[in-house]
Amino acid sequence: QVSKEPPSPALPMLARSVRAMVGPARRGYYVARADSIPEMHRHATTIICVRKADKVCMIGDGQVTQGSMIKKPNARKVRRLGAGVVAGFAGSTADCLSLMERLEGKLEEYPGQLLRASVELAKQWRLDRYLRHLQATLIVADEKISLEVTGNGDVIESHDGVLAVGSGSPFALAAARALMPMDLTAKETAERAMHIAADMCTGTNHNFVIEEVLPGQKEGEDKKPAPATE
């Protein structure tokens, strides 16, 4: 049965609003403007850093995703940079490695000053015409401080000893903060939080790479990289 009621006067207004939002019609379809589509900043991975009782543990998963396909299950996204400094990255591999090389250079320029080196990297990343297009987010930590560094010029220090980046970071961050009051080490807290994130995030797996920074760790005393574990 076809309704004979006149169309609502609100419909033409709604149609105009939709046209204004998605752009001009083409062959009966509305094409969304590129600037109306929100940019996705969360990369398909999870990196978490937990600082507790003078110990620091950073864990990253090993999954590499291309579109909807898993390309590799055991990539190494957490690395050790020189004396007592660990770093984890989320983003395109080439971009991340390029930024980590530059961070190593800054650490050589400002030895023992991770905050200063990170600020200088963020300034260069923000202002350089080439670097500003690199899509990545870094977490770096040493015995004294843990920082998140982004291409927007942000250098963020955690207020509670927990930092996380990547698509599974909301799950890992919430889990780690809930576990912080418990009688667990930094490594145990980070591992449990990562397992929760891997169970919930499709871009994260249970193949972890773990690095720790211990009190008083100096150059030449760095532990060997921990193997990936299932």
Predicted confidence (pLDDT) per residue in 51-65, tens digit: 999 999 999 999 998
Point out the residues that are catalytic.
Answer: 45
Which residue did the predictor score with more confidence, 25 or 121?
A: 121
What's the pLDDT score for residue 13?
A: 55
pLDDT of 228 higher than 60: no
Q: Which of 89-98, 113-122, 182-191, 215-224 has the lowest mean pLDDT?
A: 215-224
What's the pLDDT score for residue 216?
A: 72
Q: What value does the mean pLDDT take over residues 140-145?
A: 94
- pLDDT exceeding 90 applies to what percent of the chain? 55
Which residue did the predictor score with more confidence, 228 or 47?
A: 47
Q: Which residues are CB-contacts of 215 (< 8 A; sequence separation ≥ 6)?
A: 54, 55, 143
- The amino acid occupying position 136 is A
Q: List helix spans (H) across the chain.
A: 10-22, 93-109, 114-127, 169-179, 186-200
pLDDT of 110 higher than 60: yes
- The amino acid occupying position 108 is E
Task: For 2-31, write each residue's pLDDT tens digit.
Answer: 555 555 555 555 555 545 444 454 444 444
Q: Which residues are CB-contacts of 37 (< 8 A; sequence separation ≥ 6)?
A: none
Q: What are phi and psi of 177, to 5 degrees?
A: -65, -35
